[in-house]
Amino acid sequence: MIDGFKHSQFAHCESGVVSTLLTHYGLKISEPMAFGITSTLSFVFLPIVKLNNMPLIAYRDLPKNIVKNIEKVLGVKVFKKQYKDILEANLELTRLVEDEKKLVGLQTSVFYLPYMPENMRFHFNAHNLLVYGKSGKNYKVSDPVFEDVVECSEKDLTTARFAKGVFSPKGFIYYPTYIPTNIDYTFILKKAIRKNAKSMLTPFPFAGVKGMRRLAKSIEKLQNNKDVRYVKNYLTHVVRMQEEIGTGGGGFRFLYAAFLQEAKAYELDKDKLQKASELITEAGDTLRLFALKCVESAKKIEKLNAKEISEILVKASIFEEEAFKILKNI
C-alpha cells in the first residue's frame, strides 16, 4: 500500500482520476484543468445509435478521451493496457500496487461494484477509479465520486473490470511513466479552447449546440405521443444520460467554467474567459432546470409540457453558442 496516499473527491470520475494520478506522480494539475485542456466538453444526440433502446445522448467526449489526450496535450507518457487473460490482469495489478507501490487507474463497470448504492448501479462500463494497495484479497480503492476510500474484493473488481457490452473495459489499466519538466500552458490552453469551440459550433446537425436543439425538437414531439410508457422512459433516459452517466450536462458545464477561470492565470484574454465562464455557468444552471422538469413530467405525465422543456434546453444551447463564439477567437 502507498504510504500517505491522500484520497480526494471529484465531480467526475475520469478527470478526477487523471488529476490525482498526475499530481501523485509529480505534475500538480486540477480536475477542471485535466478536463479542459483535453477539450472533453461536447454534446451529441444520435437517434440512430441506441443505448438501452433509447437514443445516444452525450455531454462529453467518449470515455478514455482524457486518458488518451492528456498524453498528446501535455507530453506526458502513460502506460495503458487491456487484457485478454483475466489471471494476467489480476497478477499485474497486484504486482503494481503491492510490490512496486504504484498508484494505478482502472476502467470498470458501475453495475458490478458492490460498494455502489443500489440506486446508482446500472450497466455503464466507463467508470474510472484508483487502486492504491491490497490487503489480503481486497483491493484498496480510491473512487473519485466517493467521500472516502473503500475496499473491493478481487473477485468483484475483476467482474467490474471485465464486464461485457458497450465500452467493455477489458481490464484497462493506466498510470503515468514520464512527466515533462517544461510545459507551455499558454499555448496548450489556446489550442484546447479553440478546439472545444470548434466542436461545439460544428455545422453537423447532431452535435454541439445544433445537437442540443435537435434533442429539444425530439422532446417537443413527445407531447403528441400516446405511448405513455415510452414518453416516461424517454424523459428518464434523458435525465440519466445528463445527470448520472459521468457527471452529466450541468456538472460538466460547471467543470468547464472552472477551467476557464483557472485559464485566466495565463497569458490569455481575461475578459473573454470571464464572460465565457459566466455563460457556461448559466448553461449548466439551465441544464439542471431542464433535468428537473424532465423528472417532474416523468413522475406526473399528465402535467407534461413538452414545449416548455424543449425551450429550456434551447435556452441552454444559446448560452453555450454565445460562449463558444467568444472562445473560438481566444
Are residue 142 and residue 252 in the same domain, yes or no? Answer: no
**Do 26 and 160 fall into the same domain?**
yes
Q: Are 196 and 39 in contact (CB under 8 A)?
A: yes
Looking at the structure, do residues 213 and 112 belong to the same domain, yes or no?
no
pLDDT in the model for residue 254: 94
Show which of 147, 162, 178 is a domain's final residue. 178
Given this model, what pLDDT does residue 117 score?
87
- The verdict on 167 and 196 lying in the same domain is no
pLDDT-above-70 percentage for the chain: 98
What confidence tens digit (pLDDT) does each residue in 165-219 have?
888 999 999 999 999 999 999 999 999 999 999 999 999 999 999 999 999 999 9
Does position 131 have pLDDT exceeding 70, yes or no? yes
pLDDT per residue as tens digits for the range 94-123: 999 999 999 999 999 999 999 998 877 777
Same domain, 132 and 220: no
The CATH number of the domain holding residue 88 is 3.90.70.10
In a domain, 267, yes or no: yes
DSSP conformational letter for 112: G
Is the domain of 237 the same as that of 321?
A: yes
DSSP characters over 47-81: EEEEETTEEEEEEEPPTTHHHHHHHHHH--EEEEE
- Tell me whether residue 315 is in a domain: yes
Residue type, 4: G
Residue 26 burial by Cβ neighbours in a 10 Å radius (0-12, 13-18, 19+): exposed
Helix residue ranges, H only, the chain: 13-24, 31-37, 65-74, 86-94, 154-161, 185-200, 208-220, 228-239, 249-263, 270-299, 306-327
260 within a domain of the structure (yes/no): yes
Strand partners, 127: 108
Are both 288 and 159 inside the same structural domain? no
Count of domains forming the chain:
2
Is residue 226 in some structural domain?
yes
pLDDT above 90 as % of the chain: 84
Between 75 and 56, the higher pLDDT residue: 75
269, amino acid identity: D
- 200 domain-assigned: yes
**How far apart are the C-alpha atoms of 306 and 145, rounded to whole Å?**
32
Rounded CA separation 97/134 (Å): 7
Nearest to 81 by CA among 97, 93, 71: 93
* Mean pLDDT confidence for 42-62: 88
Same domain, 173 and 278: no
Q: What is the mean pLDDT of residues 306-317?
A: 98
- Can you tell me the mean pLDDT for 214-236? 95
Residues 151, 192: one domain?
Answer: no
Residue 5 belongs to some domain of the structure: no
- The residue segments making up the domain with residue 164 are 13-37+77-178
Q: End of a domain among 178, 194, 226? A: 178
The 3-state secondary structure of 300-313 reads CHHHCCHHHHHHHH
Judge contact between 304 and 231, C-beta under 8 A: yes
Q: Is residue 54 assigned to a domain?
A: no
HSE-CB at 278 with a 13 A cutoff on CA atoms is 6
Looking at the structure, do residues 165 and 189 belong to the same domain, yes or no? no
- Residue 216 phi/psi, 5-degree rounding, is -60, -45
pLDDT at 25: 94
Q: What are phi and psi of 226, to 5 degrees?
A: -85, -10
CA distance 149 to 7: 7
Place of cell 473495459: 169
Strand partners, 140: 133, 151
* pLDDT recorded at residue 202: 97
Residue 298 lies in a domain: yes
Per the structure block, which three cell numbers stand in for 39? 477539450
- Of 178, 203, 225, the residue at which a domain comes to its end is 178
Q: pLDDT, tens digit, for every residue of 232-277? A: 999 999 998 887 665 556 789 999 999 999 999 999 999 999 999 9
Residues 269, 170: one domain?
A: no
Please tell me the pTM assigned to this model: 0.92
Q: What is the pLDDT of residue 118?
A: 82
| pLDDT reading at 286 higher than 60 | yes
**Angstrom distance (rounded) from CA 236 to CA 17:** 28
Residues 91, 196, single domain; the answer is no
- The reported pLDDT for the residue numbered 248 is 59
- Terminal CA-CA length for the chain: 45
